[in-house]
Each structure stands twice: as structure tokens, then as C-alpha cells.
Structure 1
Amino acid sequence: MKNLFIVANWKSNKTVKKAEEWIKEMAKRAKARSFGIGKWQMANGLEVILCPPFTLLYYLKLQVTSYKLQVKLGAQDISPFPEGKYTGAVSARMLKELVDYVIIGHSERRKYFRETEQILENKVREALDFNLLPIFCVQEKTTVVPEGVKIVAYEPPSAIGTGNPDTPENGNKIAFSFKERLGRETVVLYGGSVTSENVKGFCQQENLSGVLVGGASLDPKEFFEIVKNVSKI
């Protein structure tokens, strides 16, 4: 049985108040649906990773611990520079106390922030230097993947926030091509208009090991259904 990953990317959304409402709803549903008494006990091999904005990381770390939810935290971005005189940057050293994972190279970062291959390589290096696991986003089979990356997320631009996901079968083919290029041990996720209705189709593919969820992760009811459906695989 392969390990499965569900990564929630909140992007630039939610205040502390909204995050509090989300976490309370998730905890309530976890308890009511028999994922353990007061705990979110997932199926063996299923890892749920929550990637909120920087402003919510510390708060959510406390809340996840308080509610005993089986959730790990990740960052949506990381500085390509070490700690120091880089105004506005959030370094790997600063994130190390809060997260286990970090998303790097998301299509929106490439598009709106003009992130180059060199910048992304520097971000991966910084993450690895502090034992953070990069979730490296790729848009096509030829996307350059820096050395040391073990988790890639295939996110076709046409499927990001459009409600028009790729097919599970094509996602599986793309995942196979990355495993052939990077190594069979590479974990490949699918991202792009993932919902509770289509998530099982992606996660059941031989070469896909989970999903990167965007808009659907903002609704705690919908996200819980995504997790519940995957836990049954």
C-alpha cells in the first residue's frame, strides 16, 4: 500500500478568526465521524498537510496541538536567501520551528512574482539545509526540478482555479514520466480543481500519491469530505 498525501494550500486567504472557525469545524467533524475521540486519526499511510499563510502558522500550530489533529503544517513559500538583511523575507531557519513542508514553485508564484529557475533552486537548497521537505510544483513534463526534491506536484495551469481538472488517467501518465526522469521513489501529487467528488479518481492512480488542494481546502466541510474519501482507499 502506497502512502498518500493531501496538501491544503490556502493561498492568500483567511484571517485568524476565519482560521479559528475552520479548525473548530474540522475538529468537530473528526470527532463525530469516528476518526478517534477528539483526534483526527487517519488511515495508515495518509498524511494531511495544511499550508496556510505565514500569518497563521504559529496560531494553527497551537490549535492543531490543542485539538490533537493528525495534521502537519507546511509553508506556501520560503526565502531564497539565508537569515539576514532581506526585508520581508521568511527564511528556512525561521520556518523550521513551525513547519515540516514547504511549497516551492507554485504556478502563481512563477506567474505573478516572476520566479526563475535559479530562484527556485535557491529556495529548495535553503529548505533542504534545514531539513524541510519541498513540495515542488511542476506545470509540464519538461519542468526543471532541482536536485534533492523528493515530492513534486503536477499542476496544469489550465486546471488551477478553473473548475476544469485534468483527467486522472492523464495525471497518471504525467506522474509516470516524472518517476522515469527523477526516480521511481519520487512522490508525485496532482493539483488543479480537486474536489471531494474527483479526489479518489486521482489518488487511485498507480503513479499518483495524493493531491494538492486549493480552493476546496478553504471550506472545512468540503476538505473534510476530501480527507474522508481518500481515507477509504
Structure 2
Amino acid sequence: MARKKIIAGNWKMNMTPSQAVALVNELKPLVETEEADVVFCVPAIDIIPAMEAAKGSNIVIGAENMYYEEKGAYTGEIAPDMLTDAGVKYVIIGHSERREYFKETDEDVNKKVLKAFEHDITPIICCGETLAQREQGVTMDFVRMQIKIAFQNVTADQAKTAVIAYEPIWAIGTGKTATTEQAQEVCAGIRACIGEIYDDATAQAIRIQYGGSVNPATAPELFAQPDIDGGLVGGASLKPDFGKIVNWK
């Protein structure tokens, strides 16, 4: 069975609640499609107003982060049941900005992934290498390590429902995009890695996105690749252009 594309916007630290509502209302008619699942991962304070604004549309609202404890003295963190109670179905985990600026480790990512599955939230698990690592020829070694640790103690049935986002760090917000061949090569390598951890059926079921300066010009060629099942889109998800990415065909 063919994998349905998933195109997710990562708003990052942008949009006040009122701006979020305005953006959802602007994008609603532009992102209508049956070809792909459309997810907006928004700042925590925007989740509820964005959810209200998206009602009746094909837009699903996701979160940008989540903590791996149920509740407690973790000032400033968001618990998984806070997300599920608000209706959240997806959460981005392990984005390179979380890893770099907030010192999240592979082990933290794994704890968050396990907790997301426990609460029936689909994790969008990010991985990707720096420019130095690509130039050193260790891209696949590094990405495989991130994947193997992220999926520790995750069952095959859970893994089949996960989303992996391959984002070369050197292509995020830089305007540089990995070539189609580079993106496909790594996404195929990630699928092979999942096949090694689990089996071929799991590898064929899991959806792998490409992220890193995806735009309307690059999306059609990227999404046509056999192992690229959509995109995790940053800056372009805050503009009407996102509609062109979602309707790439």
C-alpha cells in the first residue's frame, strides 16, 4: 500500500495567538487536499486557538515539543496529557534547534518518543547532520545513531505509525537545500536502518519527511522520490506559499 504523504509546518517561535488564528484562516483554503496529511506544529500558546480556527478543515494541529514526564515540578514544560486534552495528534521531537540550543540529547529524544506513543501522539522524530559531518563523510553513521537511539524500546507496531524528518542542519533556514539525490539517499538509508531494527514491513510503513528550506520550486521533485514521504517545512509554512507546497502535484 502506498504511503500517504505528510506535510507539516513547523512554525518555530513565531505567531501570537491572534496571528495564529489569522494565518490558519488564510491557509485553510490553500492547503485543501486529499493527497497528503497536513499538520501545523505551532507554539504551545497557539495550540488551542489554532485548533479552533482549523475546525472543519483538513488541518491537524500539532505541537513543537513535549516533556517526557506526566506532571510535576518542571517549570515551563508541557506534559503529554496537556497536549492530548487539547486535541493534539502530532508532536515534533528532537528538532536540531532543540538539540543545539536546549541541549537535548539522543536519550532525551528517546524518552520523549516513548512517552508520545504511550499517549497516542504521533512523534515527528527529527534527525540530521551538520555541514562538518557531511564533509567528513559521516552523515549516515551519525543519522543512523540518532535513529537507533530514538527508537530504543519502541515496538514495531508503534514504529510503523511514526514519522521521521530528515533535516540536514546545514539546510535549515539557510536557503540551501540538499540536492534531490542527497535527500533521497539519506531517506533511503533511514528506511534501511528501520528495516534492520525491525523488518521490511515496518520500514515500508514508516513515513520519512525531508526538511530544510523546502519551497514550492523544490517540493515536486523531492516528493517524487521513492523514500521521501513529504516535508517538514519551516519558514515557508508561515506564508501562502505553503499551499503550493501542499498541492505540489
Please give the TM-score of this superposition, normalised by the length of structure 2: 0.83
Structure 1 partner of 2:184: 172
Match runs of 1:82-93 below 5 Å: 82-93=70-81
Deviation string 1:9-45 (CA, Å, 9 cap, x unpaired) is 0000011222122122123x44xxxxxxxxx64124x
* Aligned counterparts, 1:117-136, within 5 A: 117-136=106-125
> What displacement does 1:84 show?
2.0
Cα distance between partner residues in 2 of 1:86 and 1:109: 17
Partner of 1:159: 171
Q: What's the C-alpha RMSD, in Å, of the aligned pairs?
A: 1.4
- The equivalent residue for 2:241 is 222
Cα distance between partner residues in 1 of 2:84 and 2:21: 23
Distance 1:132 1:2 in 2: 19
Deviation per residue, 1:160-212 (Å, 9 max, x gap) = 00000101111111011111111223221100001011111110001110000
Matched ranges for 1:74-223 at <5 A = 74-97=62-85, 98-140=87-129, 141=140, 142-143=142-143, 144-145=146-147, 146-147=150-151, 148=154, 149=159, 150-183=162-195, 184=203, 185-219=205-239, 221-223=240-242
CA contact (8 A) 2:5 2:207 kept: no
C-alpha deviation, 1:82, in angstroms: 1.7
Q: Secondary structure at the match of 1:96?
A: helix
Structure 1 unaligned residues grouped into runs of 5+: 31-39
What letter corresponds to residue 13 of structure 1 in structure 2? N
* 1:64-109 deviation per Cα after TM superposition (whole angstroms, max 9, x unaligned): 11xx210111110000222222221101111112210110010000
SS at match of 2:247: helix
Cα deviation, 1:43-76, whole Å, max 9, x if unaligned, reads: 24x10010010000001111111xx210111110
Q: Does 2:34 align with 1:43?
A: yes
Residues matched between the structures, number? 216
CA distance in 2, matches of 1:93, 1:73: 15
Structure 2, gaps ≥5 residues long: 130-139, 196-202
Identity %: 33
5 Å matches for 1:55-74? 55-65=45-55, 68-74=56-62
Q: State the one-letter code of the partner of 2:237.
A: S
Q: Which moved more, 1:110-119 or 1:180-189?
A: 180-189
Q: Distance in 1 between matches of 2:34 and 2:125?
A: 25
In the alignment, which residue of structure 2 is the partner of 1:53?
A: 43
How big is the shift at 1:159? 0.1
Please, which moves more after superposition, 13-22 or 100-109? 13-22
